[in-house]
Structure 1
Amino acid sequence: MAVADTRHEDAAHKTVRVIVDEELVSGVPQHTTPNEILRLAGIDPADHYLVRVNGRHRESYKDEGDKDITVHEREKFVSVFTGSTPTS
């Protein structure tokens, strides 16, 4: 009897920790979307978008919140507010 290879299945369900706005966010699926990362960080994707930070390089997911992306352990992101700010 052959033993099933579950490595691919395990990789599909792997979770990592990422940093969003300098806060550690645990339980992020390695294969996810920018909007899901925002939600896991407690940020509303309706008025924010995510930017991946890698040194000086920035990768914006503006208008691409449902794009499938792969994230890695302790990868850094920042959220950008797109809503209106009240004036006084």
Structure 2
Amino acid sequence: MTTADTQHVGAAHKTVTVIVDEEPVPGVPQHTTPNEILQLAGIDPATHYLVLVNGRHRESFKDQGDKDITVHERETFVSVFTGPTPTS
């Protein structure tokens, strides 16, 4: 294995801390999926989807939970509930 190969393998396993619903979620692989981030945050991906918040810009991952994404340290996300809304 060359030095370049070793560096690439190390980069593939790098983890970061992201923010989900204003809570830090440490240990998120830099190359991951929205569903994996939700699971690490203790949120059920079957009833939620993730939205990346970058200033005023929002990037929704609705119906894209298994999409490969690259996340960066302290990126901010919110979860959106997709289940039924109870009525009173």
Q: How many residues align?
A: 86
Measured after TM superposition, the shift of residue 4 of structure 1 is 2.4
> 1:87 & 1:62 partners in 2: Cα distance?
24
Measured after TM superposition, the shift of residue 87 of structure 1 is 1.2
Q: Which has the larger radius of gyration?
A: 1
For residues 31-50 of structure 1, what are the structure 2 equivalents within 5 Å? 31-50=31-50
Alignment partner, residue 81 of structure 1: 81
Q: Report which of the two has the higher share of helix.
A: 2
Alignment partner, residue 10 of structure 1: 10
Q: TM-score, normalised by structure 2?
A: 0.95
Measured after TM superposition, the shift of residue 84 of structure 1 is 0.4
> 1:76 & 1:7 partners in 2: Cα distance?
27
Q: State yes or no: 1:20 paired with 2:31.
A: no
Deviations 1:29-68 (A, max 9, x none): 0000000000000000001000000000000000000000
Measured after TM superposition, the shift of residue 86 of structure 1 is 1.4
The one-letter code matched in structure 2 to 1:4 is T
The one-letter code matched in structure 2 to 1:40 is L
For residues 48-59 of structure 1, what are the structure 2 equivalents within 5 Å? 48-59=48-59
- Identical counterparts, % of pairs: 81
What is the DSSP-based 3-state SS (H/G/I as helix, E as strand, rest coil) of the residue aligned with 1:35? helix
Segments of structure 1 that go 5 or more residues without pairing to the other structure are: none
Q: TM-score, normalised by structure 1?
A: 0.95
What is the DSSP-based 3-state SS (H/G/I as helix, E as strand, rest coil) of the residue aligned with 1:7? helix
